[in-house]
Amino acid sequence: MGLFVDGPACTIDDLMDQDSGLLGIAQTNNINVTTKLRLAQEEIGTELQLWLDKPRPNVEMLWGPVLRIGQIVATPPLRRWETMYALALVYRDAYFSQLVDRYQAKWQEFTKLAGDARESFIANGLALVADPLPQARPPVLVASQAPQSGGTYYASVSWVNAAGQEGAASAASSITITDGNLMAVSAIDPPKNAVGFSVYAGTSPNGMCLQNEAPLPVSVAYLYAPGQVTQGRRPGAGQAPDFVRPMVRTWSRG
């Protein structure tokens, strides 16, 4: 599912699934939808942090150490909350830009839907992972001499922890190399809890698949041989929750 802190959990396409006219409205009113996605995540993150910072009842102290926002998983209820909140931000700006009644109605509609999604998220509880792995940064790709034909290749990486859990795969990097070379893939900026990484590679962004059977040492560069592995699994979205904490009795309505 991926972690909340990995970045906006929803995309512009997710917003358009809810409102097909979104991009036209944004263009007419000079609204940057990507910025609204980021603001929605930041504002929801502030609310999540406030909950995490609240003093815990004695019974909750038995559950373990203080939780961190980096442990929160972007579950479907949380993604829906973020989606509706971002849409409300878009139409709020559109209304104040043009003072058009239909924009105000959309703003109010998505504000209500964001509130409903928030309540659904609270009812489902806070999904967390015990040993979170952030989404990896795009890998560094270089040419390495080898008796192979050249071409354009793509690669993505993900971190693996001691429990064998895998974080969200990075965005893909690409490289075009000449004949007589292979693509060498290096993962960068490993988190402290990463014991290794996985490599997804292929000849197209949608054709990347897992290349290694076991996690690779963090300091090792992986040499990709085109066509050697073509049926591995595709890049993953990240860790599934390890446990869920109830929120209904500790979160008051805003």
What pLDDT, on the 0 to 100 scale, is given for residue 56? Answer: 60
d(CA 205, CA 171): 9
What pLDDT, on the 0 to 100 scale, is given for residue 252? Answer: 47
Measure Cα distances from 148 to 154, 178, 212 in Å.
16, 9, 20
Q: What is the DSSP letter of 115?
A: H
What pLDDT, on the 0 to 100 scale, is given for residue 16? Answer: 96
d(CA 243, CA 98): 46
Asked if 174 and 215 touch (Cβ cutoff 8 Å), the reply is no
pLDDT, averaged per 10 consecutive residues of the chain (254 residues), comes to: 92 96 93 97 95 66 71 96 97 90 94 97 94 97 90 97 96 95 96 97 94 95 88 91 78 48
What are the domain boundaries of the chain? 4-131, 140-224
The model carries a pTM of: 0.86
Q: To 10 degrees, the CA torsion angle through 65, 67, 73, 76? A: 110
Q: What is the DSSP letter of 237?
A: -
What pLDDT, on the 0 to 100 scale, is given for residue 64? Answer: 56
d(CA 45, CA 39): 10
What pLDDT, on the 0 to 100 scale, is given for residue 146? Answer: 87
Task: Give the DSSP H or E segment for 14.
Answer: helix 12-18
Helices 101-124/76-98 angle, 10° precision = 160
Helices (H), ranges, 19-139: 22-28, 33-53, 58-61, 76-98, 101-124
CATH of region 140-224, choose from 1.10.3470, 2.60.40, 2.60.120, 3.30.700? 2.60.40
